[in-house]
């Protein structure tokens, strides 16, 4: 049974996340008083149970307003609590709280938003897979052709040779502002195939690392400006990593990566931006 002293903070925390979700979806702006309240009570979010956090994060990222949600979370210092690895990325990019610029992470979710709507959401494994995919690229930048071939391979059912052949005819320049993308290296077919396999392995490793509290804390040491929270590791561990749920975890993340491939082809999700 909840006492009033515990119940009130939980209500406030839930209202903060709900306010972010509604503002992102409808394009509202917070009043000065509301903005101060969000900042002052932001740490109350840590009191919410993991089930409620998953629900709120899914509402933000799976219903067509992910980019706006991430911008608001960053603006009010909530991203450090909910997704510290991504907050560290914003710090490394020199991204200001009210920054109007974009980056690759925001661009990925912006393209995803174009395919989604409140009545047409995606599975939560998609945005989890997107976070892992971007983090893998952020840690180890790749040739844009490798990224394109990777996603095409996922979509066409694993036919790597077909994906390699398709990428040979891509001549659109990549976005040079994305630090996750290297200058094209004009790889021969076998080298390109090897790089695609290596990227796939990196994404799979990152999916597991996101649940590793030690990895999260180690990564955050590089960016002391972004306050550390172990919420992200315990959050995803709660959802996926109980001993009897490990298989379900891997299957869910596999679905997320496969969704990435489907989105890539149907909307030119990555290829349009990276190649």
pLDDT for position 113: 96
11-63 per-position pLDDT tens digit: 888 889 999 999 999 999 988 888 888 888 888 888 888 788 888 999 999 99
Supply 140's token pair: 């180890």
Are 187 and 145 in contact by the 8 Å Cβ rule? The answer is yes
Which pLDDT belongs to residue 242? 41
Dihedrals phi, psi of 202, to nearest 5 degrees: -65, -40
- CATH architecture assigned to 4-274: Orthogonal Bundle (1.10)
Q: What does the pLDDT read at residue 46? A: 80
Q: Is the dihedral of CA 161, 162, 168, 170 positive or negative?
A: negative
Q: Alpha carbon of 193 to those of 150, 251, 257: distances in Å?
A: 9, 24, 18
Q: Where are the alpha helices (DSSP H) in the chain?
A: 4-26, 32-40, 50-61, 66-75, 79-82, 84-92, 104-113, 124-139, 144-155, 160-167, 189-209, 213-220, 231-240, 246-267, 271-274
- Secondary structure element (H or E) that encloses residue 3, with its range: none
Q: Contact, 89 vs 106, CB < 8 A?
A: no
With a cut of 70, list the residues of the chain below it in pLDDT: 1-8, 220, 222-275
Q: What angle do CA 228, 39, 85 make, to 5 degrees?
A: 25
Interacting residues of 151 by C-beta distance below 8 A, sequence separation 6+ = 260, 261, 264, 265, 269, 270, 271
By three-state DSSP, how is residue 117 classified?
strand
- Going by C-alpha positions, the residue among 181, 167, 168 that lies closest to residue 138 is 181
Our measurement of the distance from residue 126's CA atom to the centroid of its chain's CA atoms, rounded to an integer in Å, reads 9
Q: What is the pLDDT of residue 249?
A: 44
What confidence score (pLDDT) does residue 229 get? 55
CA distance 18 to 143: 39
Please tell me the predicted confidence (pLDDT) of residue 33: 87
Alpha carbons 91 and 72: distance in angstroms, whole number: 15
Confidence (pTM): 0.82
């Amino acid at each position: 049974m909840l006492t009033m002293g515990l119940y009130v903070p939980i209500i406030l925390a839930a209202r903060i996340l709900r306010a972010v979700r509604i503002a992102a979806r409808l394009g509202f702006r917070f009043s000065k008083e509301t903005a101060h309240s969000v900042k002052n009570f932001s740490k109350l979010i840590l009191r919410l149970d993991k089930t409620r956090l998953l629900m709120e994060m899914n509402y933000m990222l799976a219903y067509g307003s992910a980019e706006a949600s991430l911008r608001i979370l960053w603006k009010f210092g909530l991203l450090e609590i909910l997704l510290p690895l991504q907050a560290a990325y914003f710090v490394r990019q020199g991204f200001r709280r009210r920054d109007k610029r974009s980056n690759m992470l925001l661009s990925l979710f912006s393209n995803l938003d174009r395919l989604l709507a409140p009545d047409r959401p995606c599975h939560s494994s998609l945005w989890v897979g997107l976070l892992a995919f971007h983090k893998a690229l952020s840690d180890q930048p790749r040739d844009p052709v490798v990224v394109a071939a990777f996603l095409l391979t996922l979509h066409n059912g694993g036919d790597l040779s077909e994906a390699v052949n398709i990428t040979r005819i891509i001549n659109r320049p990549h976005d040079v502002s994305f630090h996750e993308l290297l200058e094209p290296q004009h790889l021969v077919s076998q080298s390109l195939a090897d790089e695609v396999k290596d990227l796939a392995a990196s994404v799979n490793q990152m999916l597991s690392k996101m649940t590793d509290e030690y990895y999260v804390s180690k990564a955050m040491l590089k960016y002391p400006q972004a306050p550390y929270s172990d919420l992200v590791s315990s959050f995803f561990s709660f959802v996926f990593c109980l001993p009897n749920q490990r298989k379900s975890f891997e299957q869910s993340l596999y679905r997320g990566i496969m969704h990435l491939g489907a989105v890539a082809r149907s909307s030119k999700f990555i290829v349009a931006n990276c190649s």
